Amino acid sequence: MSERRVALVTGASRGIGRGIAEALGAAGWAVVVNYHSSPTAAEECAAAIDAAGGASLLVQADIANLADHDRLLALTLERFGRVDLLVNNAGVAPTVRTDLLQATPESFDRVMGINLRGPYFLTQRVAQAMVAGLDPSQPAPQIINIGSVSAYAASTFRGEYCLSKAALGMMTALFADRLAEHGIRVYEIRPGVIESDMTGPVKAKYDQLIADGLSPIRRWGTPGDIAAAVLAIADGAFPFSTGLILDVDGGFHVRRL
């Protein structure tokens, strides 16, 4: 059994996931770096965690493939003995941004499989292990879902992404309700426009929108901004909250006239 607190971060090889994983490692956590298809980037993330004083475990697993979930959890428990924090970060945008009237079932199924179905059943599986391993002498485990302002801001050229993030909000509420009796708290962090591989192809568009006042704080968000929110939750900053949505979006959610 690890003496360190143990976090499982999905999609941790790049972008927001990597920022979260490295921040947890620097705070002394043991971090399971889950990745799908970027082994070199995942190895770099793991090396950074180890160099910062944390401990890492690399596990390749496709979150959309439910058969991979048991292996991901089994390797985590074999190495560290428990899971104190699950961060459901893995997510994708449509491969091609397509008008709502031309969107394909194949793109819908792919996005939903990775962004919603996979996290839903991984959370179910990890929550079972968390409940089974509860130790009254230790802080209760926590779960964090990485959502998006697209849960409520319509983008008609990526409808499947918006739907997946809107449903993730209900998933947060459902697991928060179900797991509260066990002392396990569930949160959602809702990023705004964040510098990452996902937003790279539309950088010029968002540069202009930000300059024009898309959000009150006129800058791009960074993976570090999201990681700071994760660390606050992980350190127990909200002990009387569950199902909480934490907006990390430069104030995008503020209605303005």
Cα separation of 199 and 210, whole Å? Answer: 13
Tokens at 235, concatenated: 């350190």
Close Cβ partners of 249 (under 8 Å, ≥ 6 residues apart) = 149, 190, 191, 192, 193, 215, 221
- Catalytic (active site) residue 35: no
For residue 6, give the 3-state DSSP assignment. Answer: strand
Q: Is the dihedral of CA 248, 169, 71, 126 positive or negative?
A: positive
Our CA angle for 70, 145, 206, nearest 5°, is 125
Tell me which of 35, 152, 161, 187 is the catalytic residue. Answer: 161
What whole-number distance in Å separates Cα of residue 174 and Cα of residue 141? 16
> Taking the mean position of all CA atoms in its chain, how far away is CA 219?
22
Report, as residue numbers or ranges, the catalytic residues. 161
